[in-house]
Structure 1
Amino acid sequence: MATTNLTTADFSETVGEGTVFVDFWAEWCGPCRSFAPVYEQASEKNPDIVFGKVDTEAEQQLAGQFGITSIPTLMVFRDGILVYAQPGALPAPQLDQLIQGARDLDMDDVRRQIAERDAAQTS
């Protein structure tokens, strides 16, 4: 599966279900251009995962919503929950590790931790 361009209009719906990787990038960004083929190759090797791309120049509102200050920034969502956000281009082996880590997450445990954190904040 190839990467998908994401916009403000379809972002929430796209990240709402399953595992979704999102690369925030810009055309003028050298590290973004060098990461692009690694990201594309990962998308082809992992057809069960959605690999989205957000052009920060075209989607400034979306980039602002997520506080993107450095590109490329990679985010991972599982079932609509942001589970990873880090700037910087990853080499293929590290991206593969991140993909496996996202697959291995116990989402019931993640939801429990979020509920505990939210309860502690309201106490």
Structure 2
Amino acid sequence: MATQAVSAQDFEETINKNKLVFVDFWATWCGPCKAFGPVYEKASEENPDIVFAKVDIDQNQELATAAEIQAVPTLMIAKEGQIIFKQAGALRASDLDDLIKQAKNIDLSQEPETADSKA
């Protein structure tokens, strides 16, 4: 599946109705965004089970502010409606692939272990 443009109107629905969503916050004037774009697009084609969304921060300033985007590109990952990752900076293809594997393997149904639960 190719990447899809997401706006403030459909952002929440996209996050909540899909199991795993990667969101690329980007801008047309951003050099690193232009470099990351093809890497992100290729990953979207190789992982049709994941929604790869793109948010143009200039066209969606309120959404970028609500998501606390400080720099572009910023990659956000939501799994089962929960934000599990957010990081600014372009990624290499190998780093994005590793992140995809990690995100797929996270099990949100398990309680995180605490020091108390081991006793």
AA in 2 matched with 1:22:
V
Whether 1:15 aligns to 2:15 is yes
Normalising by structure 2, report the TM-score.
Answer: 0.91
SS class of match (1:41): helix
Deviation at 1:21, TM superposition (A): 0.0
Normalising by structure 1, report the TM-score.
Answer: 0.88
Q: What is the aligned-residue identity percentage? A: 50
AA in 1 matched with 2:36:
F
Whether 1:36 aligns to 2:34 is no
Deviation at 1:107, TM superposition (A): 1.2
Flag the structure with higher helix content. 1
The match for 2:106 is 105
SS class of match (1:10): helix
SS class of match (1:21): strand
The match for 1:6 is 6
The alignment yields a C-alpha RMSD, in angstroms, of 1.1
CA distance in 2, matches of 1:81, 1:105: 12
AA in 2 matched with 1:27:
T
Aligned length: 112
Gaps of 5+ in 1: 117-123
Gaps of 5+ in 2: 115-119
Whether 1:78 aligns to 2:79 is yes
AA in 2 matched with 1:47:
P
Encode CA deviations 1:6-29: one digit per residue, 9 max, x unaligned.
001100010113100000000000
CA distance in 1, matches of 2:92, 2:104: 19
AA in 2 matched with 1:97:
D
CA distance in 2, matches of 1:62, 1:11: 8
The match for 1:94 is 95
Report runs of 4+ in structure 1 exceeding 4 Å deviation.
none
CA distance in 2, matches of 1:68, 1:84: 13
The match for 2:63 is 62
AA in 2 matched with 1:45:
E
